Structure 1
Amino acid sequence: MENFKDSELQLAPCKYEYLDHTADVQIHSWGNTLKEAFEQCGVAMFGYMTELPYVEIKQSAIIEAEGHDLESLLFHFLDELLFLFSCEPNLICSKLDIQEFVTEGEELRIKCKCYGEEFMIGKHPQGTEVKAITYSAMQIVNEPDTKKFELFVIIDI
């Protein structure tokens, strides 16, 4: 993990929302590109766990995910982010930068640099624990007329 003393990185604008769902929560994210929609979905998951304005950029980590189609790629991407938070040092991220995004061919893959800091109760307001990512009602929507990509993912809380 790389350490940061000063936050020189600009946070991306918020392009996600939380939708009501029976016993779980649905993340709806969007972007001008599919890559941006994936980044926003990951940030939204972290935002459900704490209030992101309290998260400083002090460390970074790299995660990688693979999938056989876009839905499995999204699932494994979010699962790797959840694993990053669940293991020491419990990195909570307020910025994601997908550096490699291969969405064509047989092996789809993502390499993402994650920026944030160790989650600390007292500093970071405790949101809701995310237990798992699900495939249930997962959607990846490309609207060519609006040049907008949308993702819908239900997370188990």
Structure 2
Amino acid sequence: MSWEYNFLDHTADIAVDIKADTLDELFMASAYSWRDYISDDDNSFSSEKHLLDLSENNLEVLLVSFLSELNFLYQSESWMMDKVNSLIITEKNDSWNLNAEILGQSFNRKEMNLKTEIKAITYHQMEIKEQQGRFSTRIVFDI
């Protein structure tokens, strides 16, 4: 596996540039960048499993849907992702599908080392590109 991400200053938001060898890894790195931005907690707590099955008409919408689902689990169910155990993206009949197994655990906000809240995942400046055999995107988190 090979990916990287870098946080960038962005007015009233936070942007992150992500690069990866594969589309699956780009989505995984996006999930880890989301988690790393909101929490400094290094503890492994992957005792609960969430299965995600998402379909959208393009990759950018699929990425926003994926990260929005993680953000929803975090905000409304106090459930934090620890690990992307598996993630597969496929294209079929003009639709992009994501199947993922996400490991994590419910948490107590008072006991976890949280840095900030992400209100929403935006489409601003988002474009998934493939260049020279690598995938890249920029994600802007509304904070």
TM-score w.r.t. the length of structure 2 is: 0.88
Match of 1:131 among 93, 98, 119: 119
User: Structure 2: how far apart are the matches of 1:25 and 1:109?
Assistant: 27
Mark the CA change 1:23 to 1:55 in structure 2 (over 3 Å): closer, same or farther.
farther
Aligned to 1:102: 90
Q: How does 1:60-79 map to 2 (within 5 A)?
A: 60-79=49-68
Q: Is the 8 A contact 1:28 1:41 kept in 2?
A: no
| Shift of residue 77, structure 1, vs aligned partner | 1.2
How do 1:1-157 residues align onto structure 2 when only pairs under 5 Å count?
15-88=4-77, 90-103=78-91, 105-144=93-132, 147-157=133-143
* SS of 2:108 mapped into structure 1: coil
Which segments of structure 1 move beyond 6 Å, counting only runs of 4 or more? none
TM-score (norm 1): 0.81
- Whole-angstrom CA distance in 2 between matches of 1:84 and 1:59: 12
- Whichever structure has more strand as a proportion of its residues is 2
Query: Aligned with 1:65: secondary structure?
Result: strand
User: What is the CA-CA distance between 1:103 and the residue it aligns to?
Assistant: 3.3
How far has the Cα of 1:60 moved from its partner?
Answer: 1.5
Q: Is the 8 A contact 1:41 1:151 kept in 2?
A: no
State the 1:13 CA deviation: 7.2
Q: Map Cα deviations across residues 56-95 of structure 1 (whole Å, 9 max, x no partner).
A: 222121122221111111111111111121232x221121
Query: Is the CA contact (8 Å cut-off) linking 2:3 and 2:19 kept in structure 1?
Result: no
Give me the CA root mean square deviation.
2.0
Secondary structure at the counterpart of residue 81 of structure 1 = helix
Q: Number of paired residues?
A: 143
- Summarize deviations over 1:70-125 as a string: whole Å, max 9, x none: 1111111111111121232x221121144431135412111111112223234321
Q: From the superposition, tell whether residues 67 and 26 of structure 1 become closer, same or farther in structure 2 (CA, over 3 Å).
A: same
* Structure 1 position 27, deviation (Å): 1.8
For 1:155 and 1:68, how far apart are their aligned partners in 2?
22
In structure 2, the gaps of 5 or more residues are none
Q: Which ranges of structure 1 fall in alignment gaps of 5 or more residues?
A: 1-11
1:94 is paired with a residue of what secondary structure? strand
Q: CA deviation at 1:131?
A: 0.5
Percent sequence identity over aligned pairs: 27
Q: Which one-letter code corresponds to 1:85 in the other structure?
A: Y
